[in-house]
Amino acid sequence: MKLSVFVFKFIDYAFDYVQNYYKYENIKTIKDVSYDDRCEACKLDILVKEGAEGPFPVYMNIHGGGYVAGDKKHRRSFCAHIASRGYFVVNINYGLSPKYKYPDMVKHCLAALNWIYDQKERYNLDVDRILVGGDSAGGYLSALLGVIATNGEFRSKLNIPEPKCKIKGLILISGPYDLTKLLAMRVPFKIAAELGELMTGIPKKRIYNNPEAFKDYQYVEAFTLIKHVTEKFPPCLVMHTTKDFFVPGQGDELVKVLKEKGVKHYEHRATRFVDIHCYPIFRFLKSSKESIKLIDGFLEEMSERE
C-alpha cells in the first residue's frame, strides 16, 4: 500500500468515532444502492426521516479522502443531521485511485447526480431543489459539479455532458479548488505528489513542488476549476479554516472569485488553533457548532420553493 493511501485510510478510521458519535433517531437508512451498474464502487446510501412525505429537497454528499481513500460510512452522522432537517440524503461512494484514474471519479459523481433525477418519481423527489456538498476531495468534486452544471463552454472543452438536473446550492467544506497547487505542495515524503501520480500517472518526481507538471495534462482545466466559475455558479456555503495544512488559502481564493463574479455565497472562516481540516464534521469543536447552524440556515433557505 502506498504511503499516501495508508495516511488517508488511517485518518478515516482514527477519526471515525469523533466524527460520528452524535446519533440521530428516526432516520431510515437504505444502504448500498447501485447508481451505476457498470462500476462496483458506485454505491450510495439513502437517509430520510421515518414517516416523512415528499416531495423532498435532495442533498447529495460526496466524502473526502484524498481521492485514494474515504467511504460514505464515515459521513453517516453528518448525513443523518441533514436528513433530520427534512432532506432526502444521497450519500455516495465513487471510484478511488489508483484503481480508478482521473476523471473517473468525476464521471461517477455526475452519474450519481443523474441517478437522483431518474429516481424522482420513485422517491417523490423535487429535482428543482437539489443540493450537492462534500468535504476535502468531496468539496472539490462538488464544486466541479457546480462548474459543469453552469458553464457550457467548460463542458464543451472537456466533452462533458450537461447534467439532467440543475444544482440549487453547494455546501463546500475544506475543498481544494486548484489541484495543481495541492498536488505540487512541498510536504513530507512527497505525499501530495504521490496522490497526483496515483490519480494521473504523472511521476511524483515531476509533480513535487512543480505545478507546471500539469501544464500539458489533458484535464488541467478541470484541475483548476476556480478559473471556470461564472456568475451562474450555484449559491454556496463555503467553510474553511486558516489552520488548514492540506489546502492552505484555497477557501480564500474561492471566496474572492465568488465575490468578483457576484455569486451568492455565505462564508464560515474558522481561525481557532484547533480548527483543523474539515472541522465542521468534528461536532465537539466550537467552530463546528457554529458552522452547523450556518448549514441549517442554508438548508432551510435552499429548500424553499421558487
Using CA atoms, how far residue 95 sits from 22, 98, 140, 179, 233, in Å, is: 28, 9, 15, 18, 26
3-state secondary structure of 48: strand
The phi and psi torsions of 51 (rounded to 5 degrees) equal: 80, -5
pLDDT digits (tens, 9 = 90+) for 114-170: 999 999 999 999 999 999 999 999 999 999 999 999 999 999 989 999 999 999 999
- Report the pLDDT averaged over residues 64-90: 98
**Domain CATH for 72:** 3.40.50.1820
For residue 30, what are the domain limits?
Answer: 3-303
pLDDT digits (tens, 9 = 90+) for 257-274: 999 999 999 999 999 999
Q: How confident is the model at residue 76 (pLDDT cuts 50, 70, 90)?
A: very high
Number of domains in the chain: 1
Residues 6+ apart with CB under 8 A from 147: 154, 225, 228, 229, 233
CB atoms within 10 A of CB 297: 12
| Predicted pLDDT of residue 249 | 97
| Predicted pLDDT of residue 266 | 99
Is 80 exceeded by the pLDDT of residue 178?
yes
Q: Are strands 169-173 and 88-92 parallel, antiparallel or unpaired?
A: unpaired
